[in-house]
Amino acid sequence: MTTRDIVLIALFAAITAVMAVFPPITLPLLPVPVTAQSLGVMLAGGVLGARRGGLAILLLLVLVAIGLPLLSGGRGGLAVFVGPTAGFLLGWVAAALAIGWMTERFWDGLSLVTATLICVAGGIVVMYAFGIPGVALAAGVPLSTAFAGSAAFIPGDIVKAVIAAAVMVAVKRSYPIIGQAA
């Protein structure tokens, strides 16, 4: 781990935190907001790779846990880790790791299409695999309701996946971080 790695990890934790300035939007069925922060998660994994991307999101969650109001709506503190969005928060780390791992694996041929598919696989499939059971458990709703309620996030998350993919491809061209010697 170099000084540059630490700076990049802190930078992407900060970028994801800043995305909390967009007000949370609540949809019917579930007490889980639409948030721009899942875009930060995709960017962390897709630009930094698995290890640094996962650490960036972990750092953000540690700062949230110690009470900083870095989640949308100015939320923070330990309570969020037992609330209805706890599964999604855990899924953020898993998603950054998965997106980072897939980006490293497909680095040489990375195109807008590949990067979008990677962000959808990590930022929707992996993230929701943690979030849906988490919200069912914490909010006391059936898994089917958690599943149906979460489907409403998909269109927005696909838009975020395309934006993240465009950034990943642009960064790969101009300032590649993945695939570089530390």
Ligand X SMILES: O=C(O)CCCC[C@@H]1SC[C@@H]2NC(=O)N[C@@H]21
DSSP symbols for 132-163: HHHHHHHHT--HHHHHHHHHTTHHHHHHHHHH
6 vs 25, beta carbon nearer ligand X: 25
The reply on whether position 33 binds ligand X by CB under 6 A is yes
Q: Which uninterrupted H or E stretch holds 108? A: none
165 close to 118: Cβ distance less than 8 angstroms: yes
The reply on whether position 35 binds ligand X by CB under 6 A is yes
Q: Helix, strand, coil % (nearest 5) of the chain?
A: 70, 5, 25
Restricted to residues 134-163, the positions that interact with ligand X (CB under 6 A) are: 153, 156-157
Applying CB under 6 A, which part among 47-55, 84-92, 100-108, 170-178 lies near ligand X? 84-92
Spell out, one character per residue from 91 to 130, where the chain touches ligand X: x when CB under 6 A holds, - when not.
------------------------------------x---
Q: Which uninterrupted H or E stretch holds 35? A: none
Indicate the residue whose CB is closest to ligand X.
Answer: 85
CB of 139 to ligand X, least distance (A): 12
